[in-house]
Structure 1
């Protein structure tokens, strides 16, 4: 689903009642259940995609997503890193490069935002042809994320492409 909603969707449901609520180890939510945010400036940076992945991997470590204890936690972290790669790559290929990556985490949702000066609107290529090289980035984002969208810069050129992924249980 693509949307131009500028803010994350509403509540994702009740919080777990504590450690006894799940038999598998859960990802440790950010301290105080407050959304934590990290920013990486990428203007003119060489190697923007690997730099963004390394930055996001470090945030995932700090927030308890890594090292992953379960297969679900490992898959969730890998999905986050793949989506970061796709969003930053799209900014490099179609928007003269990314300006900033923002990664924020709440107990249930991880949000990725890539800011660029591009005027285009990302969209999954339709029809999607799995065997065709290239053009799979936004299809991957659409498949892996709870939601994603584009927010236009109110001050002129540019946009923020955002995507949200569920925290592993």
Structure 2
């Protein structure tokens, strides 16, 4: 059975409050959406790698909002035929920026993960805060099922 998304795609939103357990809630929400959109179960190793990348990217962006912006306000997932866009909105107007890395200091690798795993990413002002967005290409099986 293939999923037929509307031509404009489908969007899911999760309102968030506080930081306790928020990363797990966002991963669970994302996993459920990916299952509904039939990214899970993956048909092959490539598809499984994309799913794992998406869940890691969600964790990284939400964690950054917890560490640098008093927690996220909303997680938005927008799935279209060829891509998934992940958005995390928070209260801080400061855009993400790389920190100098020190070998002996943990952390500071989140933006490197985004650079390596995402097709593209960035941030845009939203109200008094911002939205950090990340885009990932859909697995080929998912793209083919929706186009055929």
TM-score scaled by length of structure 2 = 0.86
On the 8 A contact 2:76/2:87 being kept in 1, the answer is yes
Aligned ranges for residues 10-159 of structure 1 at < 5 Å? Answer: 28=2, 30-44=4-18, 46-126=20-100, 132-153=105-126, 155=127, 157-159=128-130
- Deviations 1:5-58, CA, capped at 9 Å, x for gaps: xxxxxxxxxxxxxxxxxxxxxxx5542443100000112363000000000000
Pairing 1:161–2:132 present: yes
Q: Which runs of 4+ in 1 moved over 2 A?
A: 28-34, 123-126, 128-132
Gapped runs of 5+ residues in structure 1?
A: 1-27
Q: Output the CA distance in 2 between the equivalents of 1:148 and 1:46.
A: 26
Larger radius of gyration: 1
Q: Which SS does the other structure have where 1:139 is aligned?
A: helix
Q: Which has the higher helix share?
A: 2
Structure 2 unaligned spans of 5+: 141-148
Count of matched residue pairs: 140
The answer to whether the Cα contact below 8 Å between 1:125 and 1:139 also exists between their aligned partners in 2 is: no
Contact 1:39 1:101 in 2 (8 A): yes
* Pairwise CA RMSD: 2.0
Q: Using the alignment, how far apart are the partners of 1:130 and 1:167 within structure 2?
A: 34
